């Protein structure tokens, strides 16, 4: 087939995928051209279209869950920063949520099409009344809190890191308030990992804490994910000293080829 402003795609000699080259068009910046070229050549983008996921981000959660087993049938899940809905789709499948028995509650200030099995709020999670709305929709404690929230990037790495770390911190505070004992918290952070104060809080409240970079996360991306498993519960956390394991700000060793 032909791509806008680019060469045809398909199979080359020996069945190899042909690389799509995108020409710079009037009104398109060089960075936009690079982004478009990367999208057209991304196997996860192609796979998401074939398999019906709304974004390639779905595979990040799939890979993390296949390895760390945080989602199971019947669990209640909160998805923060859900748009366009890839993580919610995976959560629905793995906890077996349905419209008649919804187990997934999602929120994003961006517009997002409804998903079967998801109670959706188009709202800024930072709004004062957002946490209460999510808790009311849950109807009880959560088993898993997911956060793929990230502040719009400025191009300044330190600023972007601090802004996204703040979103991770408020997501963690919410998780501590809604998780049941044994629950899990998974959140996006940027390169450099979580701040020491956040890591301390997570280690005090969870049995294990890891930084992860799943294969679906582009190698050149600054994103990492922090996974905290085995929520101790409020009373236990107050009594314990930090005991959780953290493998540092780099990727989980087991992801490396």
Domain ranges for the chain: 21-51, 58-255
Please check if 87 is assigned to a binding site: yes
Residue 108 has pLDDT above 50, yes or no: yes
Identify whether the C-beta of residue 169 lies closer than 8 Å to the C-beta of residue 204: no
Distances (CA, A) of 257 to 4, 108, 212, 215: 35, 34, 14, 9
Please check if 108 is assigned to a binding site: yes
Please check if 85 is assigned to a binding site: yes
Q: Domain 58-255 carries which CATH code? A: 3.40.50.150
φ, ψ for residue 249 (rounded to 5)?
A: -75, -10
Over the stretch 156-177, which tens digit does the pLDDT of each residue have?
Answer: 767 777 788 899 999 999 999 9
Residue 197 has pLDDT above 90, yes or no: no
φ, ψ for residue 163 (rounded to 5)?
A: -65, -40
Q: Which two tokens stand for residue 7?
A: 């060469």
Radius of gyration (C-alpha) of the chain in whole angstroms: 19
Residue 118 has pLDDT above 70, yes or no: yes
The per-residue pLDDT for 190 is: 80
Residues 6+ apart with CB under 8 A from 207: 229, 230, 232, 243, 244
Identify whether the C-beta of residue 107 lies closer than 8 Å to the C-beta of residue 79: yes
Specify the pTM: 0.78
The per-residue pLDDT for 46 is: 81
* Strand, coil or helix: 164: helix
Residue 6 has pLDDT above 50, yes or no: no
Residues annotated as part of the active site = 188
Identify whether the C-beta of residue 119 lies closer than 8 Å to the C-beta of residue 146: no
Residues 6+ apart with CB under 8 A from 18: 7, 8, 9, 10, 11, 12
φ, ψ for residue 153 (rounded to 5)?
A: -75, 145
- Residue 49 or 115, more confident: 115
- Residue 31 or 151, more confident: 151
210 half-sphere exposure, CB direction, 13 A CA radius: 16
Residues 6+ apart with CB under 8 A from 50: none
- Residue 44 or 216, more confident: 216
The percent of residues above 70 in pLDDT, for the chain, comes to: 72
- Residue 155 or 97, more confident: 97
Residue 231 has pLDDT above 90, yes or no: yes
Mean pLDDT calculated for residue range 73-91: 97
């Amino acid at each position: 087939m032909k791509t806008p402003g680019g060469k045809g795609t398909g199979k080359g000699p020996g069945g190899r995928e042909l690389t799509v080259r995108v020409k710079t068009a009037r009104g398109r910046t060089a960075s936009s051209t690079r982004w478009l070229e990367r999208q057209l050549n991304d196997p996860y983008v192609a796979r998401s279209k074939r398999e019906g996921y709304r974004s390639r981000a779905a595979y990040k959660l799939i890979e993390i869950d296949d390895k760390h087993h945080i989602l199971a049938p019947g669990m209640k899940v909160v998805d923060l920063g859900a748009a366009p809905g890839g993580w919610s789709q995976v959560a629905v499948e793995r906890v077996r949520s349905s419209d008649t028995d919804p187990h997934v509650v999602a929120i994003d200030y961006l517009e997002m099409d409804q998903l079967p099995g998801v109670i959706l709020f188009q709202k800024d999670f930072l709004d004062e009344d957002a946490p209460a709305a999510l808790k009311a929709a849950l109807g009880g404690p959560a088993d898993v809190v997911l956060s793929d929230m990230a502040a719009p990037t400025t191009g300044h790495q330190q600023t972007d890191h601090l802004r996204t770390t703040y979103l991770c911190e408020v997501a963690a505070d919410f998780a501590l308030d809604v998780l049941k004992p044994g629950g899990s918290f998974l959140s996006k952070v940027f390169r450099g990992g979580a701040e020491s104060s956040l890591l301390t809080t997570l280690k005090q409240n969870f049995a294990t804490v890891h930084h992860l970079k799943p294969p679906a996360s582009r190698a050149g991306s600054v994103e990492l994910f922090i996974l905290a498993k085995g929520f101790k519960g409020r009373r236990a956390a107050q009594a314990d000293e930090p005991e959780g394991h953290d493998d540092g700000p780099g990727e989980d060793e087991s992801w490396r080829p």
